[in-house]
Amino acid sequence: MGREQNYKKKTFKNESHEKKIVNKKIIFFNMIYLMVLFVVCFIGGILLGFLTTSYTSEINIIQNEDNVFQFLLKNEKIIIGGKLNIKFRVDNKTMLSYVFNSESVKYFYYPVGQNSNCLLYNGGEQKKEKEILHIYYNILHSSSKVHTLPLHIGYEISQDYKNEVQPMYNDCKRFHKIYFSVKLDQLYMSNELRKIYNDKSYEFVFYCNCYMDDKVHAYFNAKPVYKNVILKNLRNNPKLLN
C-alpha cells in the first residue's frame, strides 16, 4: 500500500514537472510570436507611412541682384535679353527623402502700370518642351538648400516686334527694373516607392535690374502694344549678348 502511494506521488510530480516545461515552451513561443508580430506591424507602419504621407513642398524665390536685363545696339541691330539665374530656397519639412519634379517651366513678362506696385497681367511666355526641374530632398543633408534655374535669353528685335517690346523698354527706362515670373506646372514628387502627382502649380514673380545702351533710346519711340504672347516665332539665341 505504501509503495503504491509513493509511486503515485512520483508520477504526479513527473507529470507536474512536464506540464511546467510545456507551459514554459508555450510562453516562450507566444513571446516569439508577439515579437515577430510587433516587428511586422512596425515595418508595415513605416511602409504605410511612406505610401500615405502627404508631400507639401515649400519653395521660396530669392531675389538675385546680379540678374540684369539688357537693351543693346550691336552691328546696327537691337538686341534684348540677359543671362538670368533664378534662385529658389527649398525647405524639406518631412522626415522622408524625395524628388520634386516640374515637367513644365514657363516664363512670363509682367508689364508695370502707372506705379511700380501695379502688375497688370501675363505679358507673354517662353516655354521649353520637356524641361524638367529636379529639386532633391534629403533629410540626411541640410533642410534648406538653394537651387538655381537658368533663364538665358537673347532676341534680335526687328520693326515687326518693336511695339510689343516697347512696354519692356518703358519699364526699364522709368523704373530701372523689369518684372518676370517663372511658373512650375505639371508637378509630381517621387521616391523609391511611389510617384505622387500634384495638381497645384507654383508661380514666382522676380525682378531684374536693367542696362540700356544709350544708342537704343532713339529706336524705342513706338506706341506700346500689350499681347498675351510676346516675341512669338523669334529665335532665342543667348549668344547674341556675348
pTM: 0.67
Same domain, 66 and 100: yes
For residue 233, give the nearest of 178, 152, 155 by alpha carbon: 155
Same domain, 127 and 195: yes
Same domain, 186 and 148: yes
Lowest mean pLDDT among 34-43, 44-53, 87-96: 44-53
* 237 has pLDDT over 60: yes
Spatial separation of the C-alpha atoms in residues 163 and 97, rounded to whole Å: 49
Range of the domain at 22: 1-52
Same domain, 81 and 163: yes
Spatial separation of the C-alpha atoms in residues 25 and 72, rounded to whole Å: 89
Helix, strand or coil for residue 236?
A: coil
Residue 118 or 83, more confident? 83
Spatial separation of the C-alpha atoms in residues 83 and 71, rounded to whole Å: 13
∠ CA(127), CA(167), CA(160), 5° rounding? 70
Spatial separation of the C-alpha atoms in residues 195 and 208, rounded to whole Å: 35
Same domain, 61 and 39: no
**DSSP conformation letters of 18-38:** HHHHHHHHHHHHHHHHHHHHH
Tens digits of per-residue pLDDT, 58-112?
788 888 899 999 999 998 899 999 999 998 887 766 666 677 778 888 888 888 7
Assigned C-alpha cell, 196? 505622387
The percentage of the chain sitting over the pLDDT mark of 90, rounded to a whole number, equals 21
Tens digits of per-residue pLDDT, 172-189?
998 899 999 888 888 877
Same domain, 184 and 168: yes
Using an 8 Å Cβ cutoff, are 84 and 140 in contact? no
Spatial separation of the C-alpha atoms in residues 108 and 168, rounded to whole Å: 12
Give the pLDDT band of residue 120 (cuts 50, 70, 90).
very low
Same domain, 130 and 220: yes
* 53 has pLDDT over 90: no
Spatial separation of the C-alpha atoms in residues 191 and 171, rounded to whole Å: 44
Q: What pLDDT is recorded for position 130?
A: 46
Residue 27: C-alpha distances to residues 9, 23, 37, 188 (Å): 27, 6, 15, 50
Give the pLDDT band of residue 226 (cuts 50, 70, 90).
confident
The percentage of the chain sitting over the pLDDT mark of 70, rounded to a whole number, equals 69
Domain end among 32, 52, 72: 52
Assigned C-alpha cell, 135? 529639386
Q: What pLDDT is recorded for position 138?
A: 53
User: If you average pLDDT over every residue of the chain, what do you get?
Assistant: 76
Same domain, 73 and 27: no
- Give me the number of domains the chain comprises: 2
Residue 118 or 219, more confident? 219
Spatial separation of the C-alpha atoms in residues 69 and 97, rounded to whole Å: 37
Give the pLDDT band of residue 55 (cuts 50, 70, 90).
low
Same domain, 95 and 182: yes
Q: What pLDDT is recorded for position 126?
A: 45
Same domain, 103 and 207: yes
Q: What pLDDT is recorded for position 31?
A: 83
Range 143-161 average pLDDT: 85
Same domain, 216 and 173: yes
Give the pLDDT band of residue 16 (cuts 50, 70, 90).
low
Spatial separation of the C-alpha atoms in residues 201 and 198, rounded to whole Å: 8
145 φ/ψ sector (left φ>0, alpha ψ -120 to 50, else beta): beta
